[in-house]
Amino acid sequence: MKVNPLSKNVYISASRGKGPDAQPLIIKVDTAGTVSSVSLDNVKFAQVSLIDAPASNPTARQDPRTTTITDMSYVNGNLMVAGMSNEEWNSALGSIPVPFKAADLGAMVQIWHDSHGRYETESPVRTFVPYTIGGTQYVIAAYTCTPLVKIPVSDLKAGAKVKGQTIADLGAGNQPLDMVPYKKDGKEFILVANSAFGLLKVQTDHLETYATIDSPTKNPGTAGMPFDKITSVTNVKQLAQMDSSNAVVLTATAGPGPAFNPGPSVGPMALKTIALP
């Protein structure tokens, strides 16, 4: 789900039908609440193929092909793409110049996964945001079970092996879904939507001061940056920024799977605007 910053129209990727024959489509919801399908007939477009995409393995715990792309964002004239690759370190974070010509290998990323008590290279970034810390451009990335990691954008060179710096742990048994950075009352925050923890408001002032977490936490479950749980909104599936003071949330009852991977939602979905807390 994305919001056009000028028109404030909301665009949602969806599918008509289920299974391998489902038809992908884009839905627009305008500011009056009118829902329509976006026609892609005769629109200008560009495309690029990833050269390090993993092969399909349906017998795996999770087929890596389904996590080839987990999130993407436009950063400094480039499309930054997170997901899994077929390289030695499977967790990939690549940068593709816009307009598209060709895609290089993504950078390979290693992190300390606090809940698991080990370094990992097979956990894909689930969601990320570009973030400036002390004048330097970083990516703040969130992973399953739920470390927050900062990675210098300058390190993300094609084929490089990059060690991310874990600076927070929001707890185990959870899947981060979306992140929205914002400022309020002179402080900086990131609002994180999660499968099990709902909305978490993480304070991100002075990120350069947080020590690297590279051993199991003494306080089980959380460490690093302080955060608050926002209980006024539940069952958030998608989160996007509307403007400097508001966000849009798509909510629905969770599926029957485990909290970190509940599967398709149950019943109808609701779209609404909320004030950034």
Angle CA(140)–CA(120)–CA(219) in degrees, nearest 5?
70
What 3-state class would DSSP assign to 33?
Answer: coil
Task: Tell me the average pLDDT of the chain.
Answer: 92
**What six digits make up the tokens of 237?**
């599936």
pLDDT of residue 107: 95
Asked if residue 115 has pLDDT above 90, the reply is no
Distance CA 95, CA 55 (A): 21
Give the list of residues 6+ apart from residue 37 with CB closer than 8 angstroms, or none.
25, 26, 27, 28
pLDDT digits (tens, 9 = 90+) for 146-195: 999 999 999 999 999 999 999 999 999 999 999 999 999 999 999 999 99
Asked if residue 40 has pLDDT above 70, the reply is yes
pLDDT of residue 223: 82
Asked if residue 39 has pLDDT above 70, the reply is yes
pLDDT digits (tens, 9 = 90+) for 221-269: 678 889 999 999 999 999 999 999 999 999 999 888 888 888 888 889 9
Asked if residue 112 has pLDDT above 90, the reply is yes
Q: Is residue 97 very low, low, confident or very high in pLDDT (cuts 50, 70, 90)?
A: very high
Query: What's the rounded mean pLDDT across residues 54-69?
Result: 89
Distance CA 138, CA 133 (A): 7
pLDDT of residue 19: 79
Residue ranges per structural domain of the chain: 1-42, 46-275
pLDDT of residue 257: 87
What 3-state class would DSSP assign to 153?
Answer: helix
Asked if residue 55 has pLDDT above 60, the reply is yes
DSSP code per residue over 81-139: EEEE-SSSS-EEEEEEESS-S---PPEEEEEEETTTTEEESS----EEEEEEETTEEEE
Give the list of residues 6+ apart from residue 263 with CB closer than 8 angstroms, or none.
255, 256, 257
User: CB pairs under 8 A, 24+ apart, for 7-15?
Assistant: 7/31, 8/242, 8/243, 10/240, 10/248, 10/271, 11/38, 12/238, 12/250, 12/271
pLDDT of residue 220: 53
